Amino acid sequence: MFLARIFTLYPEFYPGFLNKGLYGKALSKNIWDLEIVNIRDFAKDKHKTVDDTPYGGGSGMLIRPDILANSLDKKIKSTEKNIYLSPKGKLFDQNMAKKLSREKTINLICGHFEGVDQRLIESRDIEEISIGDFILSGGETASFIVLDSILRLIPGIIGNNKSISEESFENNLLEYPQYTKPQIWEKKGIPEVLLSGDHAKIKDWRLSQSEAITRDRRPDLWQKYKKD
């Protein structure tokens, strides 16, 4: 069973995620589980204070290393993968999602304020991951994205595993256009090749469409695709 453990200041964000669609069904089948750890429970004062001002000055606050470390040390094991969701981390992508889906347990640490004390990151073997070049108010939103992309790769959660292999970013290509009924909609038809029944031609058409879309919209991926 895959376990995702999330360290957060706002645990109320997560309960609904447990019961939604495919993930709720997979949860009931013990394919995965989600544990929420409230960092405030490990604060040392009656006000549940978790932050303080940074040395050297600055406009924001930082999560204290002693409190966050206490929450981590009471929960995690040495063999588990620890991730801090940070705008200065390594960019998260599909390949990283695949690697993380093979872990037995991942620990996602959600930052707030101006982040966390650097000593905590260095002392607890924590990898920093970013979901993009923009700033969020906290790591909770990012954790949903990371967890969603990982869970759908775990065997037993998505019913049709073939659909995963044909999605965008597989083989560094964006996905080809898709069409369904009705055949004519607002006077617009669908490509004739999709009606031909010729699976080889359909496969070639889809590949050519993926290549054209990737070349136009994501030159960075196109260069990776050509190298491969």
Question: Do the Cβ atoms of 79 and 29 come closer than 8 Å?
Answer: no
pLDDT of residue 15: 80
pLDDT of residue 167: 63
| 166-227: CATH architecture | Orthogonal Bundle (1.10)
- State percent of the chain over pLDDT 90: 80
Range list for CATH 3.40.1280.10 in the chain: 2-151
Q: How confident is the model at residue 169 (pLDDT cuts 50, 70, 90)?
A: confident
Backbone angles phi, psi at 81, to 5 degrees: -85, 125
Reply yes or no on whether the pLDDT at 161 is more than 70: no
Say how many C-beta atoms besides its own lie within 10 A of residue 40's C-beta: 16
Q: Are strands 62-63 and 51-52 parallel, antiparallel or unpaired?
A: antiparallel
Fold of 2-151: Alpha/beta knot (3.40.1280)
Q: Indicate the DSSP class of residue 167.
A: S
Output the pTM of the full model: 0.86
Question: Do the Cβ atoms of 168 and 214 come closer than 8 Å?
Answer: no
Question: Do the Cβ atoms of 109 and 68 come closer than 8 Å?
Answer: yes
Between these two residues, 159 and 33, which has the higher pLDDT value?
33
Reply yes or no on whether the pLDDT at 81 is more than 70: yes
Compute the mean pLDDT over every residue in the chain, rounded to the nearest whole number: 92
Range list for CATH 1.10.1270.20 in the chain: 166-227
Q: How confident is the model at residue 194 (pLDDT cuts 50, 70, 90)?
A: very high
Concatenate the DSSP letters of all residues of 108-150 into one string: EEEP-TT-B-HHHHHHTT-EEEESSSS--S-HHHHHHHHHHHH
From residue 64, give the alpha-carbon distance in Å to each of 100, 111, 185: 27, 11, 58
pLDDT of residue 171: 85
Question: Do the Cβ atoms of 158 and 164 come closer than 8 Å?
Answer: yes
pLDDT of residue 19: 67
